[in-house]
Chain A
Amino acid sequence: MNEPSAHLHFASHRLQEVALLFMAVVYTIRLIWYFRFPAAQERQAPTGGGWSTPDKGILFSLLIIATPWEMESTRKRWFLWCQFVVFHLGVAASIALSFVIPYLPKLLTSTVVVGGLQLILGLACLVGVMRLVRRVGNMHMRAISSPDDYFSLALLTVWLGIAAATAPNNVTRGEGLQLTYFYVTAFFLMYVPFSKISHYLYYPFTRYYLGKSFGRRGLFPIRRGPEPQA
């Protein structure tokens, strides 16, 4: 394995550290801003008996994304839910790759690891394209989309594609791919706090408060009746 050039070393280390630090600072400010809003209090007497409590509601709410049968929107459109899973696995894999290349490059000597990463990243990139097509082609999606929605999705799709190509970490034909990946990653990290991609920062809070309130009101976990007979 060749030693990385000073340029690649900068891009994969210092640049990433600065970008991560920037992202952390902006997120911290963002959370301080968010927590300055007072939380609404729930004064109603609890309902729901044993099956539903605030704690159960919170847990149900936070895990709902992993239980697609609980929401009609994911239950009926399971293919979109699968896309969501693949896409987010790809994002996680790409983030992991940005740490593996500089700190654990030996992992990428395994063809299994590289193959697995490329499969996930490649599929996630494909899902990104499908999501872009849906966003552009569906009039309901167009009506709710902002430039940030298009750009964030395009950025992630490109980043996932580059990550898939970079995963073998082969610099025998030059460092161009690695450099591109790390520069895009750094841009991505600095752009995220200002974009819709930062939704994961809020997910725990929106889900927590909804689950707490709905758990107190006997709504979460959702109680369902029997399915219609054929």
Chain B
Amino acid sequence: MNSSLERSWKAHKLIERLGQKLNRQVVGSLVACVHCGMCTESCHYVLANPDDPTFAPAYKGDQLRKIFKRHYDWTGSVFPWWVKAATVDSEKDLEDLKDIAFGKCTNCRRCTFNCPMGVDLAAFNRVTRGLLTYVGVMPDGVSVVSKDQWEIGNQMGVLKEDYLDTLEWMQEELQSELDDPTMTIPIDKPDCEVIYTINPREAKYDPRSIADAAKIFNVVGEKWTMPSEGWDMTNFGLFSGDDELGGAVARRVYDKVQELRAKRLVMSECGHGYRSTRCEGPNWAKYDVPFTMESSVVTMLDYVTSGRLKVDKTRNSIPVTYHDSCNFARSCGMTEEPRELLRLVCTDFREMYPNRADNYCCTGGGGAMSMSEYTPRRLKSAKVKADQLAATGAKIVVTSCHNCVDGLNDLIRHYKLDMKVTQLVNLVATAMIMPEKVKPVAVPANGATVLSATNGDEAFALAKSEKPHLLTLDLAMPGKSASEVFEELRRDPALAGLKICIITGRPELRKTIYDRAVQPPEGYLDKPLTEQSLLTNVKKVLEVAHHQS
């Protein structure tokens, strides 16, 4: 290395920045390593490259440790050669550091779990990435994606109009597929129970997953919306190590949730997005989040276990295995919920070994999919994962992470495995039993005329103009909430004689009707409905009304 007198400006700034980024946890990890080598074989790069010691986690960690020791630790300052302390001076030093921090580690955190000393090697590899990013030394892909996320607001540079077009398109697809105009993807609807955010990859390459999620929300009658801004819950700050970017992106999402006064932020299946928004974002943004944040895996599991969503697992009978995303399993503890859900929606679930916190990275993590210069290295290291997948005998690998979907697809192609990759949302949507639609034919057959409205406003207008004898009101409806429509109908003197029958698959919402300070509805029906039960109740309500009159 050159003498410090010849140190480049970037190297100088990197060393200076390191001093600003040191905290007790990072310093602890930097000073506590005893070079015992126990972490070595925990790394998939080492397993795939057994003859190259530069892939060893401790070796990779030492690249930052030596700079720390040389500039911020006493022994290394006085006797650098004794503890292998060293500095960075030239552009080449920085490029070498970049090659290791970005190209030889996916920050999967498997080594952290295997370190007897509790050294969080993945955390300080991220610090190294952050230092390099700070001085502009990073892979082109990382630079481009970060720029998009800073400037356009999402990591794939999806323009707002394209995003909204995609949502509209998916809504039309959904309505056409199910022949149901009440299926909607609401945008920027305030005061919802759920605000749903996604990975831009879904808007760009996999809109079907948005439609599947929308189908689920609609069927359970969730009061939900998607935001027009702050919809990207992924965060390249996690991969680039740039806490400022991380904080800014997370804040965009939090601010939008606050603006729309949603109660819960639900994130689609994305390991790094979930980790960034749920776990790290509040720290980066220094934001005490006042609302609940959860993965859609938890939301779907809740729908199924509570009976709000009926599923038929026999519709997913092909053998499946589950790949634990590193960010999901090793940074957020999300290991059991996906399995519980899988067992509810599939008939043949097979564990992969090792699994959960011991699982191997898909090799596409840590932003690796955006760093094409390291692709051959990545695919070589993917042999470990390929062997793991093949040993399961499954035909489908399920994962709750979009990065993993891409990483796994890549390695499946490369190693010619007979498998395909999917996500839980797709399996749930397949297994979902659509509630039987109430066919109005039964009622007309009995001498009545049926008028239909697709939302609250339309129902109100129709009731005013047509003055029907009976109005059935589904608690899950697009637009205005059913309870608001109910109260408006009741308070309108022109509709004083209108009989109302509530229909819902969500009994817990009863109180939103019965707690209102107006006359309660004349009828109440639980879903699923049969034509007979509908007919009986309609007759009953009308007969009572007739007797009363």
Contact = CB atoms under 8 A, between A and B. Distances in A.
A168 interface: no
A210 B120 contact: yes
Contacts of A76: 41
Interface stretch (A11-19, A96-104, A108-116, A138-146): A138-146
A144 B335 contact: no
A44 B280 contact: yes
A143 B56 contact: yes
Interface string A11-55: 000000000000000000000011101111111110110001000
A223 B210 CA distance: 31
B212 interface: no
B35 A209 contact: no
A84 B117 CA distance: 12
A45 B279 CA distance: 8
A176 interface: no
Interface string A196-230: 10010011011101110100011100111111100
**Residue picked from A140, A149, A199, A219, most chain B C-beta under 10 Å:** A140
Nearest to B285: A43
Given A43-B288, A80-B38, A219-B333, A73 B25 contact: no
A48 B293 contact: no
A64 interface: yes
B62 interface: yes
B258 interface: no
A222 B293 CA distance: 23
Interface SS of chain A: helix, strand, loop or mixed?
helix
Contacts of A74: 38, 116
A7 B53 CA distance: 49
Contact of A44 (B23, B82, B116, B282): B282
A206 B351 contact: no
B355 interface: yes
Contact of A40 (B23, B116, B354): B23
B288 A210 contact: no
Interface residues of A, number: 62
Contacts of B334: 218
A84 B120 CA distance: 21
A217 B356 contact: no
Given A140-B56, A146-B35, A147-B82, A61 B357 contact: no
A223 B53 contact: no
A144 B118 contact: no
B301 interface: no
Interface string B342-372: 0000000001011111100000000000000
B59 A206 contact: no
Contacts of A35: 24
> What range describes how many residues of B lie at the interface?
35 or more
Contacts of B292: 45
A72 interface: yes
B28 A205 contact: yes
B42 A224 contact: no
B39 interface: yes
Contacts of A64: 116, 118
A73 B42 contact: yes
Contact of B287 (A37, A43, A149, A202): A43
Nearest to B75: A194
A209 B356 CA distance: 22
B453 interface: no
Interface string A154-170: 00000000000000000
Contacts of B282: 43-44
A14 to B, nearest CB: 27
B278 interface: yes
A210 B118 contact: yes
Contacts of A139: 51, 53
Nearest to A39: B24
Contacts of A205: 24, 28, 32
Which 8 pairs of residues, A with B, have the shortest CB-CB distance?
A: A218-B333, A143-B53, A43-B282, A73-B114, A146-B84, A206-B118, A202-B32, A206-B28
Given A37-B24, A47-B333, 11 more contacts: A37-B23, A43-B287, A43-B288, A140-B46, A140-B56, A144-B37, A144-B62, A147-B84, A202-B117, A205-B24, A223-B336
